[in-house]
Structure 1
Amino acid sequence: MVEHWTSTTAGRHLAGRAKKSTAPEVSLRRALHAAGLRFRLHPSVAKGCTPDLVLPRHRVAVFVDGCFWHDCPEHGRRTPWTGPNSELWAQKMEQNRQRDERSTILAQEAGWTVVRVWEHEITSDVDAVVDLVRAASAVEGLARRRET
């Protein structure tokens, strides 16, 4: 198995990509704020779990998953990886998938309602995603009112 990444021109465009405040995240944040929902950015809700944004009042954690990096079922890779780094790419994508599952579980165990959205959902219909987050907030708020 290859231990180190081999520099190639094919992957040069991926260097330095933003991990936070990506265009879909910013679009969602603007729409959520316009809808009157207030949130915090990138807080740790559990050790090893940092959602893209949370609505602390409603205990809702929102993860915005990029279609490429998180292997979207609609837009993810459909063919095996090729080239000098193929094994490393396959391993990286599997680790991303496992980290996503672990983050969801950690947030839920810490008492957060988790909403995961794909970047293409935001770019195609941000209002539908806002409605999804609002619904999760309402469900959480209803559950909290019943406890008191």
Structure 2
Amino acid sequence: MDCVSSEKRSRMMAGIKAKDTKPELVVRRLVHGMGFRYRLHRKDLPGSPDLVFPRLKKVTFVHGCFWHRHPGCRFAYTPKSNAQFWLNKLEGNTRRDKSALAALNALGWQVLIVWECELSDLPALSRKMRTFLEADRC
């Protein structure tokens, strides 16, 4: 049983953003502080990646653990109310993610996924981003 009315739940869900989320802003500040420059949400690329590094031909997606079903993460649960709806919705998200990843790879782009739960350890995330962005760099 949901503890809020369906109207209030609808307003709450409508308030969830797809761009400029707090996790995305943290990653953007981190990468910018390292001296890397990027483009945002290029719609001409499959999946409209959150950060695009055109010169490096690399992209980064910042995924919420719940919405994109981070494997093994405690935040990637299925809500108990209206479970079938959520299962369909979240599985659709993961199918779309896999499709975008395959299309980007086919176009020659390298992809890094940053999970929301990784933001709790910024030094480790910084190392991960630097390793990804500096690999194969001339």
TM-score w.r.t. structure 1 length?
A: 0.78
Contact 1:25 1:64 in 2 (8 A): yes
Higher relative contact order, chain-length normalized (CA < 8 Å, sep 6+): 1
Question: How many residues end up aligned between the 2 structures?
Answer: 131
For 2:86, which of 72, 85, 89 is the aligned residue?
89
**1:62-85 C-alpha deviation (Å, 9 max, x unpaired):** 0011011112221210xx5433x3
Shift of 1:10: 7.5
Query: Which residue is 2:19 aligned to?
Result: 20
Percent of aligned pairs sharing the same letter: 35
Query: Which residue is 2:130 aligned to?
Result: 134
Long gaps (5+) in structure 1: 1-6, 143-148
Letter in 1 for 2:131: A
Letter in 1 for 2:54: P
Shift of 1:107: 1.0
RMSD: 2.0
Letter in 2 for 1:133: M
Long gaps (5+) in structure 2: none
Quick check: which has more Rg, 1 or 2?
A: 1
Query: Which residue is 1:125 aligned to?
Result: 121
TM-score w.r.t. structure 2 length?
A: 0.83
Shift of 1:140: 3.5
Query: Which residue is 1:68 aligned to?
Result: 66
Say if 1:56 and 1:126 are closer, same or farther in 2 by CA, change over 3 A. farther
